[in-house]
Amino acid sequence: MAPTVERKNINLAPLKAANVPIFFIVGGPGSGKGTQCDKIVAKYGLTHLSSGDLLRDEVKSGSPRGAQLTAIMESGALVPLEVVLDLVKEAMLKAIEKGSKGFLIDGYPREVVQGQQFESEIQEAKLVLFFDVAEDTLVKRLLHRAQTSGRADDNIDTIKKRLHTFVTSTQPVVDYYEKKGKLVRINAEGSVDDIFGVVVANLDKVTSKI
Protein backbone atom coordinates (compact mmCIF):
# COMPACT_ATOMS: atom_id res chain seq x y z
CA MET A 1 0.00 0.00 0.00
CA ALA A 2 1.23 3.54 -0.74
CA PRO A 3 2.55 5.42 2.33
CA THR A 4 0.33 8.09 3.87
CA VAL A 5 1.37 11.46 2.53
CA GLU A 6 1.46 14.61 4.62
CA ARG A 7 -0.82 17.21 2.93
CA LYS A 8 -0.91 20.93 3.54
CA ASN A 9 -3.80 23.33 3.23
CA ILE A 10 -2.69 25.58 0.38
CA ASN A 11 -4.54 28.79 -0.46
CA LEU A 12 -4.46 29.03 -4.25
CA ALA A 13 -6.43 32.28 -4.54
CA PRO A 14 -3.42 34.54 -5.41
CA LEU A 15 -2.26 32.09 -8.07
CA LYS A 16 -5.69 31.84 -9.68
CA ALA A 17 -6.19 35.60 -9.54
CA ALA A 18 -2.85 36.22 -11.31
CA ASN A 19 -4.05 34.04 -14.22
CA VAL A 20 -0.60 33.99 -15.85
CA PRO A 21 0.17 31.61 -18.75
CA ILE A 22 1.30 28.10 -17.87
CA PHE A 23 3.28 25.76 -20.15
CA PHE A 24 3.82 22.08 -19.41
CA ILE A 25 7.20 20.72 -20.56
CA VAL A 26 7.31 16.96 -21.10
CA GLY A 27 9.76 14.48 -22.60
CA GLY A 28 11.72 11.37 -21.71
CA PRO A 29 14.55 11.35 -19.19
CA GLY A 30 17.41 13.35 -20.69
CA SER A 31 15.29 14.78 -23.52
CA GLY A 32 16.56 18.30 -22.75
CA LYS A 33 13.66 19.69 -20.73
CA GLY A 34 15.94 21.49 -18.26
CA THR A 35 18.36 22.64 -20.96
CA GLN A 36 15.62 24.20 -23.09
CA CYS A 37 13.82 25.70 -20.06
CA ASP A 38 17.00 27.60 -19.10
CA LYS A 39 17.06 29.15 -22.56
CA ILE A 40 13.32 29.93 -22.51
CA VAL A 41 13.74 31.69 -19.13
CA ALA A 42 16.60 33.78 -20.52
CA LYS A 43 14.51 34.91 -23.49
CA TYR A 44 10.97 35.18 -22.10
CA GLY A 45 11.50 35.67 -18.35
CA LEU A 46 9.05 32.93 -17.38
CA THR A 47 9.46 31.06 -14.07
CA HIS A 48 10.98 27.58 -14.50
CA LEU A 49 9.81 24.94 -12.02
CA SER A 50 11.21 21.43 -12.51
CA SER A 51 9.22 18.84 -10.56
CA GLY A 52 12.39 16.72 -10.30
CA ASP A 53 14.38 19.66 -8.87
CA LEU A 54 11.58 20.44 -6.39
CA LEU A 55 11.61 16.80 -5.27
CA ARG A 56 15.40 16.73 -4.94
CA ASP A 57 15.28 19.98 -2.88
CA GLU A 58 12.65 18.41 -0.64
CA VAL A 59 14.87 15.35 -0.10
CA LYS A 60 17.83 17.63 0.75
CA SER A 61 15.72 19.62 3.24
CA GLY A 62 15.48 16.55 5.48
CA SER A 63 11.68 16.95 5.88
CA PRO A 64 9.49 13.91 6.66
CA ARG A 65 7.95 14.37 3.19
CA GLY A 66 11.44 14.27 1.64
CA ALA A 67 12.36 11.09 3.48
CA GLN A 68 9.63 9.17 1.63
CA LEU A 69 10.89 10.26 -1.76
CA THR A 70 14.48 9.05 -2.08
CA ALA A 71 13.72 5.37 -2.54
CA ILE A 72 11.00 6.07 -5.11
CA MET A 73 13.21 8.35 -7.21
CA GLU A 74 16.15 5.94 -7.06
CA SER A 75 13.83 3.22 -8.39
CA GLY A 76 12.84 5.37 -11.40
CA ALA A 77 9.16 5.25 -10.43
CA LEU A 78 6.79 8.19 -10.01
CA VAL A 79 6.29 9.74 -6.59
CA PRO A 80 2.66 10.13 -5.42
CA LEU A 81 0.73 12.74 -7.34
CA GLU A 82 -0.26 14.72 -4.22
CA VAL A 83 3.37 15.21 -3.16
CA VAL A 84 4.44 16.62 -6.51
CA LEU A 85 1.35 18.76 -6.94
CA ASP A 86 1.70 20.30 -3.46
CA LEU A 87 5.37 21.12 -4.11
CA VAL A 88 4.51 22.68 -7.47
CA LYS A 89 1.66 24.73 -5.95
CA GLU A 90 3.88 26.02 -3.13
CA ALA A 91 6.63 27.02 -5.56
CA MET A 92 4.13 28.72 -7.90
CA LEU A 93 2.65 30.73 -5.04
CA LYS A 94 6.11 31.92 -3.94
CA ALA A 95 6.90 32.96 -7.51
CA ILE A 96 3.57 34.80 -7.89
CA GLU A 97 4.36 36.80 -4.74
CA LYS A 98 7.54 37.92 -6.48
CA GLY A 99 5.61 38.97 -9.61
CA SER A 100 6.04 35.96 -11.92
CA LYS A 101 4.55 36.54 -15.36
CA GLY A 102 4.15 32.86 -16.28
CA PHE A 103 5.39 29.33 -15.68
CA LEU A 104 7.27 26.49 -17.33
CA ILE A 105 6.27 23.37 -15.41
CA ASP A 106 9.06 20.93 -16.37
CA GLY A 107 8.58 17.20 -15.86
CA TYR A 108 4.89 17.55 -15.12
CA PRO A 109 2.41 16.01 -15.90
CA ARG A 110 3.96 12.55 -15.99
CA GLU A 111 0.63 10.74 -16.01
CA VAL A 112 -2.71 11.89 -17.40
CA VAL A 113 -4.31 12.23 -13.98
CA GLN A 114 -1.56 14.68 -12.90
CA GLY A 115 -2.51 16.98 -15.76
CA GLN A 116 -6.22 16.67 -15.05
CA GLN A 117 -5.77 17.40 -11.35
CA PHE A 118 -3.47 20.39 -11.95
CA GLU A 119 -5.84 21.90 -14.50
CA SER A 120 -8.95 21.41 -12.38
CA GLU A 121 -7.34 22.75 -9.18
CA ILE A 122 -5.19 25.55 -10.63
CA GLN A 123 -5.63 26.52 -14.27
CA GLU A 124 -5.45 25.09 -17.79
CA ALA A 125 -2.08 24.89 -19.50
CA LYS A 126 -1.72 27.10 -22.55
CA LEU A 127 0.48 24.60 -24.44
CA VAL A 128 2.35 21.38 -23.80
CA LEU A 129 5.86 21.25 -25.28
CA PHE A 130 6.98 17.67 -25.89
CA PHE A 131 10.66 16.99 -26.60
CA ASP A 132 10.71 13.88 -28.75
CA VAL A 133 13.99 11.92 -28.58
CA ALA A 134 14.86 8.28 -29.39
CA GLU A 135 15.66 6.01 -26.46
CA ASP A 136 19.27 5.31 -27.49
CA THR A 137 19.99 9.07 -27.64
CA LEU A 138 18.44 9.52 -24.17
CA VAL A 139 20.61 6.76 -22.72
CA LYS A 140 23.76 8.24 -24.30
CA ARG A 141 23.01 11.73 -22.96
CA LEU A 142 22.25 10.51 -19.45
CA LEU A 143 25.31 8.27 -19.22
CA HIS A 144 27.42 11.21 -20.33
CA ARG A 145 25.79 13.49 -17.76
CA ALA A 146 26.30 10.78 -15.10
CA GLN A 147 30.04 11.49 -15.16
CA THR A 148 29.42 14.85 -13.45
CA SER A 149 25.77 15.14 -12.32
CA GLY A 150 25.97 13.36 -8.97
CA ARG A 151 22.31 12.38 -9.50
CA ALA A 152 21.42 9.12 -7.77
CA ASP A 153 19.20 8.14 -10.73
CA ASP A 154 21.86 8.65 -13.45
CA ASN A 155 23.01 5.03 -13.64
CA ILE A 156 22.13 2.48 -16.29
CA ASP A 157 19.74 0.40 -14.14
CA THR A 158 17.70 3.41 -13.01
CA ILE A 159 17.84 4.99 -16.47
CA LYS A 160 16.18 1.85 -17.90
CA LYS A 161 13.46 2.05 -15.27
CA ARG A 162 12.94 5.77 -15.94
CA LEU A 163 12.53 5.00 -19.64
CA HIS A 164 10.00 2.29 -18.84
CA THR A 165 8.04 4.69 -16.62
CA PHE A 166 8.10 7.27 -19.41
CA VAL A 167 6.69 4.84 -21.99
CA THR A 168 3.98 3.41 -19.75
CA SER A 169 2.85 6.52 -17.84
CA THR A 170 3.92 9.64 -19.72
CA GLN A 171 3.40 8.62 -23.35
CA PRO A 172 -0.39 8.65 -22.67
CA VAL A 173 0.01 12.28 -21.53
CA VAL A 174 1.39 13.13 -24.98
CA ASP A 175 -1.58 11.42 -26.67
CA TYR A 176 -4.05 13.12 -24.31
CA TYR A 177 -2.85 16.66 -25.09
CA GLU A 178 -2.41 15.89 -28.77
CA LYS A 179 -6.12 15.03 -28.94
CA LYS A 180 -6.93 18.31 -27.16
CA GLY A 181 -4.89 20.21 -29.79
CA LYS A 182 -2.50 21.61 -27.17
CA LEU A 183 0.58 19.52 -27.91
CA VAL A 184 3.65 20.91 -29.65
CA ARG A 185 5.80 17.93 -30.66
CA ILE A 186 9.42 18.99 -31.13
CA ASN A 187 12.05 16.70 -32.63
CA ALA A 188 14.77 17.17 -30.00
CA GLU A 189 17.58 15.06 -31.50
CA GLY A 190 19.47 18.02 -32.99
CA SER A 191 21.70 20.68 -31.44
CA VAL A 192 20.50 22.66 -28.42
CA ASP A 193 20.32 25.85 -30.49
CA ASP A 194 18.43 24.27 -33.39
CA ILE A 195 15.86 22.83 -31.00
CA PHE A 196 15.55 26.20 -29.27
CA GLY A 197 14.81 27.79 -32.64
CA VAL A 198 11.76 25.54 -32.99
CA VAL A 199 10.73 26.27 -29.39
CA VAL A 200 10.89 30.02 -30.03
CA ALA A 201 8.87 29.75 -33.24
CA ASN A 202 6.11 28.02 -31.28
CA LEU A 203 6.22 30.21 -28.18
CA ASP A 204 6.23 33.42 -30.21
CA LYS A 205 2.82 32.44 -31.58
CA VAL A 206 1.29 32.47 -28.10
CA THR A 207 3.43 34.77 -25.95
CA SER A 208 2.95 38.08 -27.73
CA LYS A 209 0.85 39.26 -24.79
CA ILE A 210 3.34 38.24 -22.06
> Can you say which residues are annotated as belonging to the binding site?
30-35, 51, 56, 77-79, 107-110, 114, 145, 151, 162, 190
Determine which one of 39, 101, 126, 151 is catalytic: 151
Amino acid at 111: E
- Burial per residue of 84-105, b for 16 or more beta-carbon CB atoms within 10 angstroms, e otherwise: bbbbbbebbbebbeeebebbbb
- The verdict on whether 33 is a catalytic residue reads yes
- Which position among 12, 34, 35, 74 is part of the footprint of Mg ion (CB under 5 A)? 34
CB of 134 to ligand AP5, least distance (A): 12
Q: What secondary structure does DSSP assign to 170-194, as a single string?
A: IHHHHHHHHHTT-EEEEE-SS-HHH
Q: How far apart are CA 198 and CA 51, in angstroms?
A: 24
Residues within window 46-75 making contact with Mg ion, judged by CB under 5 A: none
Using the minimum distance from each CB to ligand AP5, give the nearer residue, 15 or 85.
85
User: How far from 153 is each of 43, 90, 102, 146, 150, CA to CA, in Å?
Assistant: 30, 25, 29, 9, 9
Binding site per annotation, positions for AMP = 51, 56, 77-79, 107-110, 114, 151, 162
- Whole-angstrom Cα distance, residue 40 to residue 25? 11
Catalytically annotated residue among 8, 145, 180, 205:
145
Of 65, 89, 110, 141, which residue is the catalytic one?
A: 110
**209 CB-near residues (< 8 Å, 6+ apart):** none
What SS3 state is found at 105?
A: strand
The residues binding ligand AP5 (CB under 6 A) are 27, 29-35, 50-52, 55, 72-73, 76-79, 84, 107-108, 110, 114, 141, 145, 153, 162, 191-192, 195
Q: Annotated catalytic, 110? A: yes
Using rule CB under 5 A, residue 39 touches Mg ion: no
Contact positions vs Mg ion (CB under 5 A): 33-34
Q: Which residues are catalytic?
A: 33, 110, 145, 151, 162
